[in-house]
Structure 1
Amino acid sequence: MTTVVGLSDRYANFLVHPLMSGPGVCQICRGTANAGYPSCRQCQQTGNVLGTGVADVVVPVSLALKGEQYANELWRYKNAAGPQQMYFRTGLAAVLWRFLALHEGCVAAHCAVPGFDIVTTAPSTSGRENHPLRTITAEMVEVTRDRYRDLLAPAPDAAVLGRNPSRSRYTSAALWGENVLVIDDTWTSGNHAQSASAALKAAGARSVAVVVLGRHLNNSYGDTATLVEQARLRRFSWDMCALRPWHHG
């Protein structure tokens, strides 16, 4: 019988734990930060635009390195067809399920909330209908599907905003102090996820956290290769806490 553990085990061969925030590591997205700065330039700029609307915490499951297996699967689960499409979607659903089952409590504790009342995803602003991440989160993953709600809708001019963060990229259904967990697939600039957070908070969310399947990085950019080399020193373990340097299970 196929299990979540069985489906997700192979990912431990190529997932890479993001480094803990610190010198040279962005405290928000876990990408590279310039010396003397707590956050990368992109996260700083996004914070300047969105202010307190940004997520209370961003937790990448793994780095997704350009040209490598995990980044490839995060592309193919959206763009492959037929049996390959289902293969990659099922695998990534198992990754998300296993990660949240082990670590969602830590994410909630970091936000100083007892748990997340609602789980949602940010809809595409490029015209893609029936986004597979929604299918994964709302239908395939047991620990999220009963809490899933379609809260967000792209604004009519969302596509014009490009990759820029904006409080008006999305509108949200009204909230009454609920804590919301946003699931994202690939974080490059983070502007879509952070814009979604801003919309949710403006609609009344008490706390918003983002769990992202892959923090996309390009080894050829700046000091990224050094960061990745350091990250690879720590062998991937499903029990490694996403927010603290210890194991739990």
Structure 2
Amino acid sequence: MTGSLQQFAGQARAYLFSQVGDCFTNTARGPGRCSVCTSPTGFEHVQLCGQCSRQRSEFGDDVADLVIPLTYVRGYMSPQHQSQHMVQRYKSPVQPSEWSAGLLQFMINAATAIHGPCIAAAVGWWDVMTFVPSERRPGKDHPVVELARHVFEHGRSVDRVMLAPTENIAHFNRYPRRDIFALTPEFAAVVRGKHVLVVDDTWVSGGKAQSASLTLKAAGATRVTVLCVARWLSYKWDEHRPVIESKLPPYDAMICPVGPGACLASL
């Protein structure tokens, strides 16, 4: 890591600790956590959660090659947890929070600046970038677009494409489908033979993000990485509850979201 990037990493770490340390915590990989989405599996020897296991069994290599959630959201608690409030308010169509949006954008920027080489070491540098479009606000005015714009590109030239929701998205039920997104022929040509980074805000079931991967790989993308701010944990799910109730350390931008032993930030 260069001196200027080291300085940025230290400043980003301190800033995010002060701003989101009381509500966000890092995702974790290893025993008892899904190797795809980092959710608790309920058993230390189980490497995939039920959702990711079914998706991989059905779609094989067409699902994303790497999924990188940065933090956990503690969902459906009473009273509502601040992490849920923040990820929902950032994109509220009624009263969006610029403060929340700015923090999520900075989390994406810091994570890709500090740990971009870790992603590259695992699956290669990304050549193309896109985002998971919203059904209700599918265009460039959705706040997720700003998350994608804050990806740090390390001085590289990265093409940008847009996925378009199809009429079949009306039948989406949180499970991946090959037909809810589409690419124009021009965009399909851009992703062919390339590694595509897909940016999203929240991973709940992974259905939409993995649907994006199915569409991109059908168009010829060789690899797909999904980068999302938050992995939603549900207080309604028994296997999630112990993590939600535990006293986890505050979010640390230096902890590698790619996985243990993958971090190159200290080099």
Interval of TM-score (by shorter of Structure 1 and Structure 2) = 0.7 to 0.9
Deviation at 1:104, TM superposition (A): 1.8
Q: Does 1:151 align with 2:162?
A: yes
Local SS of the residue matching 2:97: helix
Is the CA contact (8 Å cut-off) linking 1:29 and 1:215 kept in structure 2?
Answer: yes
Deviation at 1:70, TM superposition (A): 2.1
Q: Does 1:137 align with 2:134?
A: no
For structure 1, list consecutive stretches of 5 or more residues without a partner in the other structure. none
Query: Residues 14 and 154 from structure 1, CA distance in 2 versus in 1: closer, same or farther, beyond 3 angstroms?
Result: same
Q: Does 1:89 align with 2:101?
A: yes
Is the CA contact (8 Å cut-off) linking 2:134 and 2:142 kept in structure 1?
Answer: yes
Distance across 1 between alignment mates of 2:226 and 2:256: 16
Instruction: Pick one of 11, 16, 19 that aligns with 2:25.
Output: 16
Is the CA contact (8 Å cut-off) linking 1:18 and 1:231 kept in structure 2?
Answer: no
Q: Does 1:105 align with 2:113?
A: no
RMSD after superposition: 2.6
Report the identity percentage: 28
Deviation at 1:94, TM superposition (A): 1.0
Deviation at 1:52, TM superposition (A): 1.3
Query: Residues 177 and 230 from structure 1, CA distance in 2 versus in 1: closer, same or farther, beyond 3 angstroms?
Result: farther
For structure 2, list consecutive stretches of 5 or more residues without a partner in the other structure. 1-7
Q: Does 1:194 align with 2:210?
A: yes
Local SS of the residue matching 2:60: helix
Deviation string 1:149-185 (CA, Å, 9 cap, x unpaired) is: 2331112211112322111121233122111111110
Give TM-score scaled by structure 2 length.
Answer: 0.80
Query: Residues 20 and 245 from structure 1, CA distance in 2 versus in 1: closer, same or farther, beyond 3 angstroms?
Result: same
Deviation string 1:188-213 (CA, Å, 9 cap, x unpaired) is: 00000011011111111121111110
User: What letter corresponds to residue 182 of structure 1 in structure 2?
Assistant: V
Instruction: Pick one of 45, 49, 57 that aligns with 2:54.
Output: 45
Distance across 1 between alignment mates of 2:99 and 2:158: 25
Deviation at 1:80, TM superposition (A): 6.1
User: What letter corresponds to residue 133 of structure 2 in structure 1?
Assistant: P
User: What letter corresponds to residue 20 of structure 2 in structure 1?
Assistant: Y
User: What letter corresponds to residue 82 of structure 2 in structure 1?
Assistant: Q
